[in-house]
Structure 1
Amino acid sequence: MRDALINLRALPEQRDLIDYAASLLGKNRSDFMLEVACERAQTVILDRVFFGLDAEKFKQFSDLLDAPKTPNAGLARLMEVKAPWQEGSE
């Protein structure tokens, strides 16, 4: 059961466009907008998580991941800093 309310304002032309597209798919405005917004949200999230590489670029990427670690003083300092919620941080 849907119980979360989402409100938004649109220009009449935008509403009409959305209504027309929804009607072409046999959907009401709310179902259409929710479906399209969720599809777009998933795309945005996946774009931040997954990326595609051709075989050559994937080999370069894998080689970088497999390479021995090199010392990084800045990262070492960062890892020593306690988070504000950790006990004894000051």
Structure 2
Amino acid sequence: MTVLNVVQLLTFVAALGLFAYAVIAPREANPTKRERRTQLYLGASMIALAAFMATLALDSAGWSSYLKGVAAAAFLVVGLVRITKSRKTSR
């Protein structure tokens, strides 16, 4: 197993774990806090998924690597937007 394969495995497990934690863990009584925490962990999961897609893009050649790179950038943007939404204070 190469270092790139180990990084791919770790980033995939991190993305999957953060997604599961976002779905299962936020058991707050306050719905606003629950929504914020869910958005935060889903954003972190999307960023981990972006890292996974970036490592997949590094591992491949040709036009598919460009598509994986674009998907990684899209996941990164969506994850950052979700984290930003979770950090906004409610008025």
TM-score, normalised by the number of residues in structure 2: 0.29
Higher RCO (C-alpha 8 Å, min separation 6): 2
Larger Rg: 1
User: In proportion to residue count, which structure has more helix?
Assistant: 2
TM-score, normalised by the number of residues in structure 1: 0.29
